[in-house]
A and B are shown apart, each in its own frame.
Chain A
Amino acid sequence: MKPARMTIVRIALIVIGLAGLFAGAVILVQKERPDQILGVIVWIGAAIIVHDGILSPVLLLVDVWMRRAGRRIPYAVLAIIQGGVVVGAIMSMLVLPEIYKKSIGSKNPTILPLDYGLNLALFWAAVAVLTAAACALYLRRARTRTAPVE
């Protein structure tokens, strides 16, 4: 992109962006009471705190632990395990509130009709089996590759 064109695009995007922020603020002020707007602000603040203050430091510790563990365990195996944990954790993040909501009751039986707790347990079991299989496959291949040396 030519610099002049990029400048025009950037200015246009900022104008669109500011218009969006303005529209959002106007809708919020028009449709919600002050205490409800405060509620929205609290939620956004809480999201930032949960992300920046809890998720990120936890990830930092996991990262550090991974780098240390990298001395003893092949890196690819760690990456596969990490991948399995990520898939399971993200699914759990979506399903745990659902399990809780079902436990406090739904308005009718067609809302949240499944046994989500059982399904999540089975899902984790499937993730564990697939992760272990992937690790085993990798290690077998790695052994065949390095057999003459080791």
Chain B
Amino acid sequence: MRRLLALTQQALAAPPRNPRMAVVIGRLLAIAFLLCFGTGLYSHFLQEPEPWMRFSTVPAQLYQVTQGIHITAGIACFPLILGKLYTIYPQLFQTPPVKGPLHLLERASIALFVGASLVQITIGLLNTYQWYPWNFGFRQVHWALSFVVIGSLAIHIAVKLPMIARFWTRNSEGTRELRGETAADETPDAVVAPVGGVTGRVFRWIDGSPAAEPAVSRRGFVTAVGVSTATVVALTAGQSFAALSPFNIFAPRVKGTGPAGLPVNRTAKAAQVLDTAVAPDWNLTIANGSRTISMSRAELLALPQTTVDLPISCVEGWSQMATWKGVRLRDLLDRVGADTSQGLKLTSLEKKGGYRVTQMGPEYAFDASTLVALEVNGETLDIDHGYPARMIAPGRPGVLQTKWLSSLEVEA
């Protein structure tokens, strides 16, 4: 068995499978992972802020960009991680499989790293398709695994640091050795003695083949990884970035689709508001302690109207710019004497769901472009876009742009 592993490893030796390539691809993958982690933390805390947290409301496209990067970098991880695994692939067959307790720990940590990373990007991708073939909560597990992946990455870098340093640049000691510019001070892994029987014949058959041309092989590998990454990004990122939308042939969302040219995530039917949203006695209640006002849609329309261009930016990465018209939230809050240091609790008409009741920090509540929107793109709000009234604020995730508003309560 040990011999078989060694022979497999030898047979797999190929020019792109070297530590320098692992460092080059590994670096790109680490950047993609860190981009996903950073933008993921931002998205998480926007949705579940600590009480002391305040966020920037400018630029209004901030979340559109951070979440677009989150999803796009996540998609780019697929070719990068496969390329990275390819460069180190013969290691899978290393002999002896386990050299000691520390080595076992190292191999186990890499198994966890690879497994958790693959699951992380896979469930993230499937979430953008809104497909959940598992029994666990997506958000919770994606959140937990982000720490497992970044933790494993830190440990992996720590373990490999001497190797990474040796191959960091084109002119690092290890890279030059690899090019044959300096004599290697270590002898290569001992060549395995030939074996007889079927195994021996199979491997002699393999070894009888001409070796790959190193330069062509390396260039081919880098090109394949590069082109794959560029392709998956170019053909999907149009759901998030307008400049790429003409090339969007594979993303789960397309800009400009849906009522008023705006995609929908949760429909009125799914939120069970088909009756309550069109009820003639609908009122928006705005409360600050004991001061309460209640306004019908006609009364809201009679107030000074403001028009703003703000994107709907979904946690799933797609986004859509739109022109909204409605009443400035801060004008309504002034009517109940709210203070600019106070946040809000928003309640929707929807019957259930994690975002039925949400919080809004004062930085958003008193921003001049935050509206209780009544129209979008020149049309009355479609019921799937939150008729009779919805919230729209700069730089927030779509799930917090509460549709089918019912009440706004100023928090003490």
**Interface residue ranges, A against B (CB under 8 Å):** 1, 6, 9-11, 13-14, 16-25, 27-28, 31-32, 35-37, 39-40, 43-45, 47-48, 50-52, 56, 59-60, 63-64, 67-68, 70-71, 75-76, 79-80, 82-83, 86-87, 90-91, 93-95, 97-98, 100-101, 106-114, 116, 119-120, 122-123
B161 touches A9 (CB 8 A): yes
Cβ–Cβ contact B210 & A47, under 8 A: no
- Enumerate B118-163 residues with CB–CB distance to A below 8 Å: 118-119, 122-123, 125-126, 129-131, 134-137, 140-141, 143-148, 150-159, 161-162
What's the Cα separation between A113 and B129 when bound, in Å?
A: 11
Question: Are A83 and B223 in contact, CB atoms less than 8 angstroms apart?
Answer: yes
Given the contacts A63-B12, A97-B125, A111-B253, A106 and B137 also touching, CB distance less than 8 Å: no
B152→A21 contact, CB < 8 A = yes
Are A87 and B228 within 8 A (Cβ)? yes
Contact status B257-A6, CB under 8 Å: no
Q: Tell me the bound Cα distance from A60 to B11 in angstroms.
A: 9
Given contacts A71-B209, A75-B216, A16 and B151 within 8 Å (CB-CB): yes
User: Would you give 22 A-B contacts (Cβ < 8 Å), ordered by A?
Assistant: A13-B154, A13-B161, A17-B151, A24-B146, A28-B144, A31-B140, A35-B135, A37-B136, A59-B89, A71-B210, A79-B216, A83-B227, A86-B224, A90-B79, A107-B267, A108-B270, A111-B129, A111-B252, A111-B263, A114-B249, A119-B250, A123-B249
Residues on the A chain within 8 Å of B14, using CB: 63
Closest to A47 in B: B118
List the 7 shortest-distance A-B pairs measured between CB atoms, nearest first. A20-B151, A79-B220, A17-B155, A17-B154, A13-B158, A24-B148, A24-B147
Is A113 a contact of B257 with CB atoms below 8 Å? Answer: yes
Cβ distance B98 to chain A, nearest Cβ, rounded Å: 15
In addition to A21-B152, A45-B115, A83-B227, 18 A-B residue pairs with Cβ atoms within 8 Å of each other are: A10-B159, A13-B154, A13-B158, A14-B158, A21-B151, A36-B135, A39-B134, A40-B144, A43-B134, A44-B115, A44-B116, A50-B118, A83-B220, A94-B75, A98-B252, A108-B264, A108-B384, A113-B254
Are B231 and A52 in touch, CB under 8 angstroms? Answer: no
Residue in contact with B140 in the complex, picked from A27, A43, A90, CB distance below 8 Å: A27
Chain A neighbourhood of B162, CB < 8 A: 6
Task: Tell me which residues across on chain A come within 8 A of B8, comparing CB atoms.
Answer: 60
Contacting A at CB under 8 A, from B77-99, are 78-79, 82, 85-86, 89, 92
Residue of A at shortest CB range from B141? Answer: A40
Secondary structure of the A contact surface, majority rule: helix
Chain B residues, Cβ within 8 Å of A18? 151, 155
Q: Is the CB of A44 within 8 A of B82?
A: no
Q: Which residues of A contact B368 (CB under 8 A)?
A: none
A86 to B83, CA, bound (A): 10
A80 — which chain B residues lie within 8 A by C-beta?
Answer: 220
- Chain B nearest CB: distance from A78 CB in Å? 9
- A112:B252 contact, CB within 8 angstroms: yes
Complex CA–CA separation, A136 to B212 (angstroms):
20
Contact surface of B with A, Cβ cutoff 8 Å: 8, 11-12, 14, 75, 78-79, 82, 85-86, 89, 92, 111-112, 114-116, 118-119, 122-123, 125-126, 129-131, 134-137, 140-141, 143-148, 150-159, 161-162, 165, 205-206, 209-213, 216-217, 219-220, 223-224, 227-228, 231-232, 235-236, 249-250, 252-254, 257-258, 263-267, 270, 384
Docked-complex contact B141 and A112, CB < 8 angstroms: no
Q: Is the CB of B119 within 8 A of A44?
A: yes
A83 to B152, CA, bound (A): 30
In the bound complex, do residue B153 and residue A48 qualify as a contact, i.e. CB atoms below 8 Å apart? no
Q: B156's closest neighbor in chain A, by CB?
A: A17
* Contacting residues, chain B, for A108 (C-beta < 8 A): 264-265, 267, 270, 384
> CA A106 – CA B253 in complex, angstroms?
12
Write out the residue numbers on chain A whose beta carbons fall within 8 Å of the beta carbon of B131. 97, 100-101
Chain A residues with Cβ below 8 Å from B112 are 44
Give chain B residues whose Cβ lies under 8 Å from the Cβ of A63.
Answer: 11-12, 14
Contact call A60/B213, Cβ cutoff below 8 A: no
B144 touches A24 (CB 8 A): yes
CB-CB under 8 A for A17 and B153, given A31-B144, A108-B267: yes
The docked-state distance in angstroms from the alpha carbon of A144 to that of B332 is 78
Bound form: Cα–Cα A16–B170 in Å? 29
The chain A residue sitting closest to B236, CB to CB, is A94
Partner of B86, one of A13, A43, A59: A59
Residue in B closest to A115 when the chains form the complex, CB atoms = B249
B85 touches A51 (CB 8 A): yes
Distance of A58 from chain B, by nearest CB (Å): 12
Give the chain B neighbours of A110 by CB distance below 8 A.
253-254, 257-258, 263-264
